[in-house]
């Protein structure tokens, strides 16, 4: 595999060099042809323009060739590193969810994995996401509200599907991931956790701030409850 990759890169480099050489010779030949009819006193500005065009064109050609060889990457928050094995983290957090919210073991473990992964990716505390899910849906996978919010994190597809990459928000795992992504975005936008939670619940420009504060109070209660277990 490494040999084939090196051969491909060498072929691409040879192709780029050949293209640049051909382009340069053509450009120089054109300029030389014009030079015989050239009057420096009348066309000094034109000469400078031609020279600048050659330099810029060559630079663009090289940049384009190099960009084709680069691998595109999508900016995405990396999970936080932990010295604890993943299965142990999930089991331990699942036990805490079960104690705090009375979830049976299988459901608690399933949600623990989704919440921990979402928290790692978005650099949020898993207790915060779990508390939000408890208040929003009581850990019901397919909860729906009369306002159009769905899933464990009660995300509204018409507002956030595109923001979350077009995910199927009826999938509980993707729903939690999207909810965490939205919360992280609002937290960065607002500059604080309380403002982000209010915006998550009632919207940034809503006049229902009192309802938003009640939501914050409920989430905060469960957050402290989880932290003490």
Give the CATH number, domain containing residue 166: 1.10.530.10
Residue 80: inside a domain: no
Domain match, 53 and 147 both: no
pLDDT at position 25, please?
53
Using the predicted structure, report yes or no on whether residue 182 has a pLDDT greater than 70.
Answer: yes
Sign of the torsion formed by the C-alpha atoms of 103, 105, 108 and 110: negative
69, 101, 121 — which closes off a domain?
Answer: 69
Average pLDDT, the chain: 78
43, 69, 95 — which closes off a domain?
Answer: 69
Residue from 52, 90, 68 nearest 9 by CA = 68
Residue 76: inside a domain: no
Domain match, 130 and 55 both: no
User: Which domain covers residue 54, as residue numbers?
Assistant: 2-69
| pTM, to two decimals | 0.64
Bridge partner residues of 150 (DSSP): 144, 155
Domain match, 109 and 58 both: no
Q: Which residue has the higher pLDDT, 208 or 22?
A: 208
Query: 115: buried, middle or exposed (CB in 10 Å: 19+, 13-18, 0-12)?
Result: buried
Domain match, 104 and 207 both: yes
Residue 133: inside a domain: yes
Residue from 125, 174, 206 nearest 195 by CA = 206
13, 43, 69 — which closes off a domain?
Answer: 69
Segments in the chain forming alpha helices (H): 2-35, 40-69, 86-101, 105-122, 126-137, 157-160, 172-190, 193-202, 209-227
Residue 7: inside a domain: yes
Using the predicted structure, report yes or no on whether residue 115 has a pLDDT greater than 70.
Answer: yes
Looking at the 3D structure of the chain, how many domains does it have?
Answer: 2
For the CA atoms of the chain, what is the radius of gyration?
Answer: 29
Residue 178: inside a domain: yes
Tally of CA atoms within 13 A in the half-sphere of 202 that contains its CB: 15
Domain match, 116 and 35 both: no
Residue 74: inside a domain: no
Using the predicted structure, report yes or no on whether residue 228 has a pLDDT greater than 50.
Answer: yes
Domain match, 114 and 222 both: yes
Domain match, 109 and 178 both: yes
Residue 60: inside a domain: yes
Residue 176: inside a domain: yes
User: Residue 209: which pLDDT band, with cuts at 50, 70 and 90?
Assistant: confident
| Terminal Cα distance for the chain, rounded | 50
Using the predicted structure, report yes or no on whether residue 82 has a pLDDT greater than 90.
Answer: no
Q: Residues near 204 by Cβ (< 8 Å), separated by ≥ 6?
A: 186, 189, 190
Which of 6-15, 73-82, 126-135, 195-204 is the least confident region?
73-82
């Amino acid at each position: 595999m490494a040999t084939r990759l090196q051969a491909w890169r060498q072929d691409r480099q040879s192709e780029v060099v050949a293209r640049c050489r051909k382009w340069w010779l053509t450009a120089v030949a054109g300029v030389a042809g014009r030079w015989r009819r050239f009057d420096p006193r009348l066309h000094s500005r034109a000469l400078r323009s031609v020279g600048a065009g050659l330099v810029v064109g060559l630079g663009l050609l090289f940049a384009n060739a190099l960009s084709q060889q680069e691998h595109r990457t999508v900016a995405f928050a990396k999970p936080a590193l932990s010295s604890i094995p993943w299965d142990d983290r999930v089991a331990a957090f699942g036990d805490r969810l079960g104690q705090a919210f009375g979830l049976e073991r299988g459901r608690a473990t399933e949600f623990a994995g989704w919440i921990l992964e979402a928290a790692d990716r978005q650099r949020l505390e898993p207790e915060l996401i779990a508390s939000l899910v408890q208040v929003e849906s009581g850990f019901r996978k397919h909860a729906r509200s009369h306002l159009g919010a769905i899933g464990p994190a009660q995300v509204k597809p018409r507002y956030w599907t595109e923001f979350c990459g077009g995910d199927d928000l009826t999938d509980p795992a993707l729903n939690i991931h999207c909810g965490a992504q939205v919360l992280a975005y609002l937290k960065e936008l607002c500059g604080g956790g309380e403002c982000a939670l209010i915006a998550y619940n009632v919207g940034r420009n809503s006049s229902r701030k009192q309802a938003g504060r009640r939501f914050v109070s409920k989430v905060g209660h469960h957050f402290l409850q989880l932290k003490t277990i």
